[in-house]
Structures are given as structure tokens and as C-alpha cells.
Structure 1
Amino acid sequence: MALNELMDGTLRALPECLAVCYVDMPEELVLTRRSSRAFSQEVLDAVATLASRLLEGRGVAEAWRQAAVAPEEERPGEAILANDDFTCLFLRMEKHDEHALCLIANRGADVAQMRLAGRALGKDIANIL
């Protein structure tokens, strides 16, 4: 099954989900995305930057490591951000840890359901890459 088909399946399974993005964190680039609504390039660029900052050891991830007195190589595997409009879940890919998934949903979406679907999607993607 192709990457885009897997992402489409996640969109269908999560009614509140508006987009699923596959991000290259070192390059801060959305490699592919599937969405039920249009997002500007600026929003996609911000998603890629946030994934990198939150999961890859710059910005918030570095502060987390210091606060937790965690080893330098230990990085967070997920992060959640919410604003007045959206809830965003960032998940580091297990077998491709320089990549991440970002699920963008309406504010107030069921985060636990997003996490389950995102983790399942990550495993499915890892199996095809």
C-alpha cells in the first residue's frame, strides 16, 4: 500500500483530523501530506519547523532534556500543541527517527484517538519504507 493511501486511511478514520503530514525534521520540510482542506505553504513550513524544534533537539526539546536531566541522545518521541483553532500531534517515526508525522485536527479533537491512529500509521509507514 502506498504512503498516500495509508495517510488517506488515517484521515478517514479520524473525523476531526484535517491533515496528516510526513516531515523530514533535519531539512524542516513536509515531504508529503494528505488533507481534507487546503493549508498554505506557510502553515506547512511552520509544521515542519515545529516538528524539528519539538522532537529533534532544538528549542523546546532541548529545554525538556535539561529539565529532565536526560542524556543528550534521548529525545522526545511525541509532542502536542494546541491553539484556538487546531490541535497538532507530532510523532517521531520509530525506524526513521529523522522523520515525523504530524496530525492536524480541529481544536478539541480526541488526542488519545489521534495518538493511537498516528502510532498505527507510523508502524504501517515503517513497514513500507
Structure 2
Amino acid sequence: MSLDKALAVAQSEIPECVATGYVDMVSGMLLGVKTVDSHPGEVLDLVAAATSDLFQGKNVVEIERLFDKSRGITGRNHHYFNEIVVFSSNLIHVYVRSKRNPDHAGVFVSRIAANIGMVLVRARAAMTHCEAAAN
């Protein structure tokens, strides 16, 4: 399945989903996107940059380093932040780090009326298809 197809399936299966995307956090590029509305390229570019900041921003990396240090973990690139949920005034934004490639993340955006439990369950399931398609 192609990444575009995986994102389209995710959008159809996640409750009240208005947008899906898949981000390469190293390059800062949005590798794929599916939305119900059209958005300017600058907005989509910012989504990719924001996703990268959420998972790999300076302070997040430092927190993860300190967690490793306090647990006696050395020489391993381990990530503690794997899922981030942001509630805005009218949307639920779910960011999921790829298990296959920790430098990739899925972005799933649903209307605020959606059941958050179902959004999370379906976003996690969709992520496995997106990961397979991106590799």
C-alpha cells in the first residue's frame, strides 16, 4: 500500500478525522498528507516543523537524556516521548512517533467532538500501515 493510500485509509477510519500526515523529522519534510480542505504549503510545512519540534526539540532531547542518565542508560538513542496529544479549541491533534523509524511521525487531526479513546486506538492502528508504506 502506498503512503498516500495509507493516509487516506487512516482519515476514513479515525473518527471525525480532518487531516492526516506523515513527517520525516530529520529533513523536516511532510512525506504525505491527506486533508478534507486545501491548505497553503506554508501551513503544511509548519506542521512538519512543529512535529519535529515536539519530538526532537532541544528541551525534549535534554529531558530524554536526563531520564537516561537517571536510569543509568548510556550509549542508546532511546525516546520516552512516543505519543503526544494536543487539544485545541476545535480539534484533537495526535502525534505518534514511528516504532520502525523513530525519525518519522504520524499526525492525525480530528474534530473535538470525536471520542478521544477511539481516535487514539485508530491512530495507533493507522500508524502501522503508514510505517509499512513509508519503508
Interval containing the TM-score (normalised by the shorter chain) = 0.7 to 0.9
Cα RMSD (Å) of the superposition?
Answer: 2.1
Within a 5 Å distance, the mapping from 1:65-104 to structure 2 comes to: 65=64, 69-71=66-68, 73-75=77-79, 76-104=81-109
Instruction: For CA contacts below 8 A with separation 6 or more, give which structure has more relative contact order.
Output: 2
Match of 1:125 in 2: 130
Match of 2:20 in 1: 20
Structure 1: 5+ residue stretches without partners: none
Structure 2: 5+ residue stretches without partners: 70-76
Shift of 1:17: 0.7
1:126–1:36 CA distance, 2 compared to 1 (3 A): same
Shift of 1:85: 2.7
The alignment covers a number of residue pairs equal to: 126
Q: TM-score, with normalisation over the residues of structure 2?
A: 0.79
1:98–1:109 CA distance, 2 compared to 1 (3 A): same
Paired-residue identity, %: 21
Q: Is the 8 A contact 2:97 2:103 kept in 1?
A: yes
Shift of 1:122: 1.8
Amino acid at match of 1:32: G
> Rg: which structure is higher?
2
